[in-house]
Structure formats: C-alpha cells, structure tokens
A and B are shown apart, each in its own frame.
Chain A
C-alpha cells in the first residue's frame, strides 16, 4: 500500500479495497514503528487523523469523489494548523497552538486530505541540513548518519521512508528542492505568489513559497492542484488563475528546448553527480528534447545577494516574537526590555540569531544602501539572466545540489560552507521562478536530483517534463534501505 501512487490510492478508496481509516492507520503504524530512527515528525496527530479519515470515508460512501479525498499527508510544521501546535522548529513557538488555519492547510482539509502530523524542519526554515531544529536533527532514510537536507527535511524524509505519500514544504532558497534531492523524492517550488503564504510562518517574505513534495511529479501535480490559487488574504498572492497541473503531464517532449547553464556544471559540482545529471538529460534528449548551452552570468552573485535579502527580511519578520502576545516568554523578567531580550535570547537558536544580526546590520542606518539596496539591484540582474535565457529555451536544467547528502555534523559549525550548498537553488527564489527537483539516480548509494527551472507560472511545464522523465526511469521508485554504511 505504501508504494502506491496517489492516483492508485484514490482508486483503491473509491473501489472500497481499503478505507481511509485503514490507510491512515497503516501510515500511523509505520510512523510509530519507524520514525524513531528518522525524527521526521515533530507532532503526530493520531486522533485527529483518524477522525478526518472517518469523515473522508463518509464522504466517499456518499459518492463524493476527489483526487485527494481520504489521502493521508503531512504538513511542514511551518503551516498553521488550528488547534495543533505549530512550532516552526523553534523553542520560540514550542507552545504555539494557532487559533486559525493557513490557507494551504484549510484548502487541503477541504479537499478531504487526512493530516497525519507536522514534520520537522530547520528552525524558522533557516538551514540546509535540518540540524538547526529545536526538536533535533532529522536523519536521512537512505543513510541515517547523513542529513536529509533542509529546511523541509522532515517532509522529505517522511516521504522517502514511506511514512506519508504526500507532504507540504516551503522553499525560500532551496528548502523544498534540496531535501527532495537528498532524499530521492520529487519536490516543486512554485512561482512566487502561486501558493498562498497566509498562515505560513514568515521567514523572508519576498522569497518564501509553499509547494508540494511527493514521490513522483504526477503526485506533486495532484497536491499542487489543491494548494495553488489566488488568496485575497495574502497581499502578494497572484490573481492569475491556477490551472489543472495534471492535465498536461502526458504531453510529449518533442521540440522542447532545455537550457543547460554552464555556470551550473563548473567547478564545485561533484563529478559523479554531474554524471547522473547528464544521464537524466540524455533520457530527456531521447524523448525529443534539445539540449542548449546557455549562460546565467550572475549565478555566483546569488549567494551574497540572498544572504543579504533573506536575513534582512527575516530580522524584520522575526521582530514580532517579543514574548508578549504568544510564543515563548522568559521566566521572571526584570523589566520590559529584559522580557523582550531574554525571551528572544532563550527562544531563538544560534543560526536564527546570527541571521537576525546580519539582517539588522544590513538594514541599519548608514549601511542600507550599500547592502540591502545593492542586493535588490543585483537581484534584478539575476532575474534578467533568466528572462534573457528564456528567450531561447523553454526550461532550464542542472543539478539541484553540488553533491549528495553530507554527514550529520559535517557542516554544522561552518555557516559559510552550509550556505554554499544552495548555490544552484537560490537564484530561482530571487527571480521568483518555479523550480523542481526530480530524482536522478544514486551516487554511492545516495540520491541526487535533477533541477528543472521554468518560466514564471509554468509549473505545468516542469511537472510535464518531470513526469515524462519518470515514464522512462525508475529513480523515483527506488526505496531507501536505511541504516548506516
């Protein structure tokens, strides 16, 4: 049952081969039995899940259909869930039980999905290894002494370990795509504004975007169908109508022009990973796509640009955590300033505090023009690179990461080494484009991902290319054996 696609699960439910309660129980049993090794969940809501499943079974019995009705899933613990603790991986929100639902969780509930629980993540989504979580690191199901990637590491690990068939994630600089690559699953970061940010705890508001994570592009399309669309309650939500992302999955790739940015295949890319990427690209070529050499000349600047803009926006967003209205409050504050300072000191972890300081510095009087404004200008140059490239190609492809998952603890003490992990993913967020990672095979037993980058609002094209690749490869079907080597 845990290897079935979402479409197969849905068919099984409608044909009464199993009920949603049975399906949900089987996942809850797996989580209970296996997640001790992975730590991919922060909260498991057994009672809530079984109640939702029972409700879904009633809707199914009444003849209702719906591609996600009765299907279990997991939400990254960054999406507010009414009456269920939403921690964002932080001590600051360890006691935070939201009085409302994120638009994403509400829409998926209305679609009849069954929430199994909330997945682990880097604190406030700041990290590329899931090691900054207040709830401890997540272990990669392919090899438990390796990181699952981050920040949506819990969602990626849960799918890889078959603890959930679908999960939500968020991506500010690669946080869906990089863990998807490291865990051998499929993950899509939609165009900025495609998925509502209401109730998604804010990190860097001009970069953050929620998206689907699953084993296949086909499953991601079903999840995106229910997530995407205009939300009047999110001021940056796009009014452009969303589409049926499943409709064009079967479209042949003949004539597709795929741009390969030479900056993504240069120094720093692991040789064995490059081989896997070229093998995946060759399969697309066999299906009629043409590979075109392109250049994105400002690629190298995406790291410094991101590491000004993201911390600047984070320092502003995280100023709301003051120990007054909700969240962590320190014991026995001496005065108001002590209340603010000590609640933040004790409630935030090191990486979060580091980014708040960098962001406050970059925005402070005398430095604003040199840092934040400069970064916003270079951000436009980075986007222009992509717009120019899309004049001659339909999609852009390359590695999602420079190599496979690294060992737990390997980069924990070196923020700069960690930042370099995101070199191929950051520019996509800066430019607001959709980006997807699809499995491209194994390097020494560990998965690597092929990244596909599309034009604004062309999620359907990316899912189509991913799906076609998955028709002629079985990398997305490979199951981790777990354990250590």
Chain B
C-alpha cells in the first residue's frame, strides 16, 4: 500500500472532491491534482519512520473526554438560532425537495 501513496490520480482526487462536496471545475482538475500530489509527496516522508509500538496521540496532554451529569442545562433557543438560517419555515430548515 505504501507504494501506492506516491501516485495519486486525477480520478481519485475527483472522487475525494465528490465525497467532500467540493466541486473541482474540469479545467482545474489537473492542476488541483498536481498540487495535492505535491503535498502528499511532502507528507510521504513519514512512511520511512519506524513507529512500531508507538501509541497514536490524539490529544497533546493525553487527556480523556470529561463527562458531566446527564442533566438538562440548556434552554431551548430555536428561534434565536434559526434567525440566522438562509431559509426556515415552522421551525424547520428548508432545503430543496429531496423526495418527489
């Protein structure tokens, strides 16, 4: 798998863009792919580092999630929060029709 990392292909980037909901214009796809390939080449130097037995570090203080009592602490502020939405109706966020 490591060998495959070096050769990102344009169709792969197009698929990733689709997953991330970021459109790449057809005339930009080659350039975007080459820029991302350059970044991936930069990061590929990590593959040479021996990390056997090293625990991945998600938090720099190795902190774990703090828990709180399961009690209601927030008031409902739906109208305040929906006041900044592009489109709402009857307390619901409006989007284009999904099901005909």
Chain A residues close to B by CB (< 8 Å): 95-99, 191-193, 206, 232, 235-236, 238-239, 301, 303-305, 307-308, 315, 319, 322-326, 329, 333-342, 344-345, 348, 353-354, 356-358, 360-362, 364, 366-367, 370-371, 373-381, 383, 415-416, 419, 429-433, 456
In the assembled complex, how far is the CB of residue B88 from the closest CB belonging to chain A, in whole angstroms? 9
What 17 additional pairs, Cβ within 8 angstroms, besides A301-B49, A361-B13? A99-B77, A193-B63, A236-B63, A304-B44, A305-B43, A324-B93, A325-B82, A326-B85, A329-B87, A335-B97, A336-B98, A358-B36, A361-B8, A371-B5, A374-B51, A376-B56, A378-B46
Provided the pairs A193-B61, A324-B95, A381-B54 are in contact, do residues A307 and B42 lie with their beta carbons within 8 angstroms? yes
- Measured between beta carbons, the chain A residues less than 8 angstroms from B84 are 95-99, 325-326
The answer to whether A333 and B54 have CB atoms under 8 Å apart is: no
- Contact check: which of B20, B49, B51 meets A360 at CB < 8 Å? B20
Is B22 located at the chain interface by the 8 A CB criterion? Answer: yes
Provided the pairs A377-B54, A416-B38 are in contact, do residues A325 and B85 lie with their beta carbons within 8 angstroms? yes
The answer to whether A358 and B39 have CB atoms under 8 Å apart is: yes
The answer to whether B39 and A383 have CB atoms under 8 Å apart is: no
- Measured between beta carbons, the chain B residues less than 8 angstroms from A353 are 22
Provided the pairs A301-B49, A357-B13 are in contact, do residues A431 and B60 lie with their beta carbons within 8 angstroms? yes
The answer to whether A360 and B60 have CB atoms under 8 Å apart is: no
0/1 interface trace, chain B 1-28, chain A, CB 8 Å (1 if under): 1100100100011001101111100000
The answer to whether B16 and A370 have CB atoms under 8 Å apart is: no
- Measured between beta carbons, the chain A residues less than 8 angstroms from B42 are 303-304, 307, 416, 419
In the assembled complex, how far is the CB of residue B93 from the closest CB belonging to chain A, in whole angstroms? 5
0/1 interface trace, chain B 78-100, chain A, CB 8 Å (1 if under): 00111111110000010111100
Task: Show 14 residue pairs from A and B whose CB-CB distance is below 8 angstroms, ordered by the A residue.
Answer: A99-B77, A322-B21, A335-B97, A336-B95, A336-B98, A339-B95, A348-B22, A354-B35, A358-B36, A360-B20, A361-B8, A375-B43, A377-B57, A381-B54
The answer to whether B55 and A377 have CB atoms under 8 Å apart is: yes
By secondary structure, the A interface counts as helix
In the assembled complex, how far is the CB of residue B1 from the closest CB belonging to chain A, in whole angstroms? 6
The answer to whether A354 and B36 have CB atoms under 8 Å apart is: yes
- Measured between beta carbons, the chain B residues less than 8 angstroms from A341 are 21-23
The answer to whether B93 and A235 have CB atoms under 8 Å apart is: no
The answer to whether A334 and B96 have CB atoms under 8 Å apart is: yes
The answer to whether B57 and A304 have CB atoms under 8 Å apart is: no
Complex Cα gap A380–B31 (Å): 34
Complex Cα gap A305–B43 (Å): 7
Complex Cα gap A298–B84 (Å): 46
- Measured between beta carbons, the chain A residues less than 8 angstroms from B8 are 361
Complex Cα gap A431–B84 (Å): 37
The answer to whether A371 and B93 have CB atoms under 8 Å apart is: no
- Measured between beta carbons, the chain B residues less than 8 angstroms from A192 are 59-61
Is B32 located at the chain interface by the 8 A CB criterion? Answer: yes
Is B76 located at the chain interface by the 8 A CB criterion? Answer: no
> Which size class do B's interface residues fall under?
35 or more
- Measured between beta carbons, the chain B residues less than 8 angstroms from A361 are 8, 12-13, 16, 36, 40
In the assembled complex, how far is the CB of residue B45 from the closest CB belonging to chain A, in whole angstroms? 5
Chain B residues close to A by CB (< 8 Å): 1-2, 5, 8, 12-13, 16-17, 19-23, 32, 35-36, 38-40, 42-47, 49, 51, 54-61, 63, 65-66, 68, 77, 80-87, 93, 95-98
- Measured between beta carbons, the chain B residues less than 8 angstroms from A333 are 95-96
The 6 closest A-B pairs by CB, nearest first: A432-B60, A376-B56, A377-B51, A329-B86, A380-B57, A304-B43
The answer to whether B16 and A324 have CB atoms under 8 Å apart is: no
The answer to whether A232 and B68 have CB atoms under 8 Å apart is: yes
Complex Cα gap A383–B49 (Å): 15
In the assembled complex, how far is the CB of residue A381 from the closest CB belonging to chain B, in whole angstroms? 6
Select from chain B the residue with minimum beta-carbon distance to A311: B39
Most chain B C-beta atoms within 10 Å of own C-beta, residue among A239, A379, A433: A379
The answer to whether A371 and B43 have CB atoms under 8 Å apart is: yes
Complex Cα gap A456–B13 (Å): 39
- Measured between beta carbons, the chain A residues less than 8 angstroms from B85 are 324-326
- Measured between beta carbons, the chain A residues less than 8 angstroms from B82 are 325
In the assembled complex, how far is the CB of residue A382 from the closest CB belonging to chain B, in whole angstroms? 9
In the assembled complex, how far is the CB of residue B51 from the closest CB belonging to chain A, in whole angstroms? 4
Provided the pairs A232-B68, A336-B96, A430-B60 are in contact, do residues A304 and B16 lie with their beta carbons within 8 angstroms? no
In the assembled complex, how far is the CB of residue B54 from the closest CB belonging to chain A, in whole angstroms? 4
- Measured between beta carbons, the chain B residues less than 8 angstroms from A334 are 96
Most chain B C-beta atoms within 10 Å of own C-beta, residue among A98, A335, A380, A383: A380
The answer to whether B47 and A381 have CB atoms under 8 Å apart is: no
In the assembled complex, how far is the CB of residue A362 from the closest CB belonging to chain B, in whole angstroms? 8
Provided the pairs A329-B86, A357-B36, A416-B39 are in contact, do residues A301 and B46 lie with their beta carbons within 8 angstroms? yes
Select from chain B the residue with minimum beta-carbon distance to A371: B43
The answer to whether B47 and A370 have CB atoms under 8 Å apart is: yes
Provided the pairs A370-B1, A373-B56, A416-B38 are in contact, do residues A357 and B22 lie with their beta carbons within 8 angstroms? yes
Complex Cα gap A376–B87 (Å): 40
The answer to whether B57 and A376 have CB atoms under 8 Å apart is: yes
- Measured between beta carbons, the chain A residues less than 8 angstroms from B5 are 367, 370-371
- Measured between beta carbons, the chain B residues less than 8 angstroms from A429 are 60
The answer to whether B61 and A432 have CB atoms under 8 Å apart is: yes
- Measured between beta carbons, the chain B residues less than 8 angstroms from A430 are 60
In the assembled complex, how far is the CB of residue A352 from the closest CB belonging to chain B, in whole angstroms? 9
